[in-house]
Amino acid sequence: MSNNPSPGASAPKPIRKPGSQIIVDTLIEQGVDTMFGYLGGVVLPIFDKIYDSPINFVIPRHEQGGCHMADAYARATGKPGVIIATSGPGATNLITGLATAMMDSVPLIALTGQVRTDLIGNDAFQEADITGITRPITKHNVILKDTKDVAQTLREAFHIATTGRPGPVLIDIPVDVAMGEAEVTPPEKIKLPGYKIRHRGHSRQVTTAANAINNSLRPVLYVGGGVIASGAFDELRMLAEKAHIPVTTTLLGLGAWDQTKEGSLDMLGMHGAAYANYAVQDADLLIAVGARFEDRVTGKLKTFATNATTIHIDIDPSSISKNVRVDIPVVGDAKQTLSELARQVEYRERKEWFDKIAEWKEKFPLFYDRNADTIKPQYVIEELYNQTKDSEATIVTGVGQHQMWAAQFYKYSRPRQLITSGGLGTMGFGLPAAIGAQVARPGKLVIDIDGDSSFNMTLQELATAVQYELPVKVVLLNNGYMGMVRQWQELFYNKRYSCSYLTNPNFAKLAQAFGAAGITVEDKSAVPGAIEQMLKETKPCVVDFRVEPEENVWPMVPAGKSLHEMDGLDIFESMA
């Protein structure tokens, strides 16, 4: 070992350290400078070492909030987020956050405390089988049994969380493992015989795909969060521009293509733009990249893109042909594969195709009644966009109608600009995620576009924002309902609004009680001024917009219908 040079390990005698110190040292070695977490008995040894470390630590008000913060930190930076929680209830409070990160492929390291190894399985105080509980919602998880494995297991966890299709990895640490001592060992080569990633797409498949693109008349690029995760923004642009292909994105793909530029079809799917859905249904070639053909995107599977040959580029082989039959599968990293494709494709004019798309865009734009006297939620978002488009704002959302309007009426031009819970649809994600994003981007504008019901679920994290002086802005589209649920009840349950109405607090006053700023807006004319005031505010700020209570998200592909069978387009006919 002495002739194996490694930084800081030149001493001839091996150094022994407590497991808790090894944990903190290894986190720092892995590049961690920021962590989120909540204390508890069995993680105290680790917190004791964090006390002396340079790590910037954020304590949420609930472990779920902490997990969403770490998740959003990862989505904002591309680096893994780190969350620590204690055993039992601390650990189980991470579940929603872990499942959210898993569904959206977010690199996350969760450290949980566990009772002493000799107590495990005895129903000890605050014991939960957290590796058992989180097995289906983590990319990988392990329970540490020996202090000597601490460093290497952590290194493996970072490797697994951040490579291939990223995801959350949980390490369960019994308190005696954290307190025990072991020799400090330098990083070894990661040896995981069951973990292989194919970065380079099969060259013959890539060429087949390039030929299909060259031969197509009506191609559409359908782009998901994988393009953002692999940092393939430039490569996507190269391919789309060189081959002249319009781009539509999933919710998580928003920002992978500059929506203010030509060739953008905006979002597709259940609440996607009509022109995106028509283009997909009419396409003769669909090039799916880092997207997984989720049911919210495809509508009725049997009738999805039936005119198209399908190319699917994904790093996860199990995503390919899971939902739709794929003609040309390419297992590989989006960045590498798109760059290789861009090299092989040729420019084609495709004027007819772009003319047809322009016609759809003209005929069926994203729409709402701009002349209404009430505050339309879409108007708030448009106004917010107009006031923030030049300021590199990060938009975070909760889940529900407001999220769909944020997807439709804000225009994203940069990857990682929108942070939202896609796969799991986690209500309550907005505020804690905004806090995580603000920690990642100090000094930058971070806005949570939220709904009242979603905000209600995690609003106690306002205290975290106040404590750490994180000036997040909350644009609350308050319609007094669980809006999306109410919309479904209106459309599919004969307006029987069973249990979808909640009495809300006065959010502005509540914000003030937390030490944040709060503004209530009841008049349409006050909207621009309130946004202006919010943007000037140096404290965390909640603006409670009392919006039109029964506004719906249009267009909408009802569940089980085909992508082109959208409701809500009659509004265009009534305009004519």
Partner 1 sequence: MKHILSALVQNEPGVLAHVSGMFAARAFNIDSLAVGRTDDPKLSRMTIVVVGDDRMVEQVRKQLAKIVSVVKVQDFAGKDTVARDLMLLSVAAPAEKRPEIFALIEMFNAKVVDIGPKFVMVEVSGPEAKIEAFIEACKPYGVKNVARTGTIAMPRQPRSNSQE
Residues that bind partner 1 (CB under 8 A): 131-132, 135-136, 139-140, 142-143, 160, 192-195, 316-318, 320-322
Among all chains, which residue has been given the structure tokens 């390039």?
Answer: 210
With beta carbons less than 8 A apart as the criterion, state whether 36 and 69 touch. Answer: yes
Instruction: Tell me how far apart the terminal alpha carbons of the chain are, to the nearest angstrom.
Output: 80
Least distance CB 374 / partner 1 (angstroms): 45
Q: Which is nearer to partner 1, 136 or 443 (CB)?
A: 136
Distance CA(141)–CA(161), nearest Å, equals 10
DSSP label at residue 136 = G
Burial class (CB in 10 A: 0-12, 13-18, 19+), 222: buried
Q: Which is nearer to partner 1, 31 or 193 (CB)?
A: 193
Distance CA(67)–CA(330), nearest Å, equals 33
Q: Which is nearer to partner 1, 108 or 320 (CB)?
A: 320
Distance CA(575)–CA(231), nearest Å, equals 42
Question: Residues 6 or more apart from 456 whose CB is under 8 A from it?
Answer: 428, 502, 504
Least distance CB 387 / partner 1 (angstroms): 44
Q: Which is nearer to partner 1, 169 or 508 (CB)?
A: 169
Q: Which is nearer to partner 1, 14 or 121 (CB)?
A: 121
Q: Which is nearer to partner 1, 160 or 519 (CB)?
A: 160
Least distance CB 393 / partner 1 (angstroms): 36
Least distance CB 207 / partner 1 (angstroms): 24
Least distance CB 173 / partner 1 (angstroms): 15
Q: Which is nearer to partner 1, 115 or 462 (CB)?
A: 115
DSSP assignment string, 471-492: --EEEEEE-SB-HHHHHHHHHH
The DSSP bridge pattern shows strands 181-183 and 16-18 to be antiparallel
DSSP assignment string, 200-224: SPPHHHHHHHHHHHHH-SSEEEEE-
Which one-letter amino acid corresponds to residue 16? R
Burial class (CB in 10 A: 0-12, 13-18, 19+), 400: buried
Least distance CB 448 / partner 1 (angstroms): 32
Residue 448, strand partner residues: 396, 474
With beta carbons less than 8 A apart as the criterion, state whether 222 and 290 touch. Answer: no
Nearest to 429 by CA among 195, 43, 103: 103
Question: Residues 6 or more apart from 219 whose CB is under 8 A from it?
Answer: 213, 243, 245, 246, 283, 284, 285, 286, 287, 350, 353
Residue 443, strand partner residues: none
Least distance CB 334 / partner 1 (angstroms): 18
Least distance CB 172 / partner 1 (angstroms): 11
The number of angstroms, rounded, from the C-alpha of 142 to the middle of its chain's C-alpha atoms is 24
Least distance CB 318 / partner 1 (angstroms): 4
| Pair of tokens at residue 17 | 């350290």
Q: Which is nearer to partner 1, 121 or 505 (CB)?
A: 121
Least distance CB 457 / partner 1 (angstroms): 25
Q: Which is nearer to partner 1, 54 or 194 (CB)?
A: 194
Residue 57, strand partner residues: 35
Least distance CB 122 / partner 1 (angstroms): 17
Distance CA(213)–CA(221), nearest Å, equals 10
The CA-atom distances, in angstroms, between 418 and each of 67, 117, 321, 410, 433 are: 18, 42, 28, 10, 11
Q: Which is nearer to partner 1, 142 or 419 (CB)?
A: 142
Rounded to 5°, angle at Cα 66 from 63 and 72: 145
Least distance CB 231 / partner 1 (angstroms): 22
Phi, psi of 133 (to 5 degrees): -65, -40
Q: Which is nearer to partner 1, 192 or 513 (CB)?
A: 192
Phi, psi of 207 (to 5 degrees): -65, -40
Q: Which is nearer to partner 1, 13 or 191 (CB)?
A: 191
In the chain, what's the furthest Cα-to-Cα distance? 84
Least distance CB 141 / partner 1 (angstroms): 8
Phi, psi of 157 (to 5 degrees): -60, -45
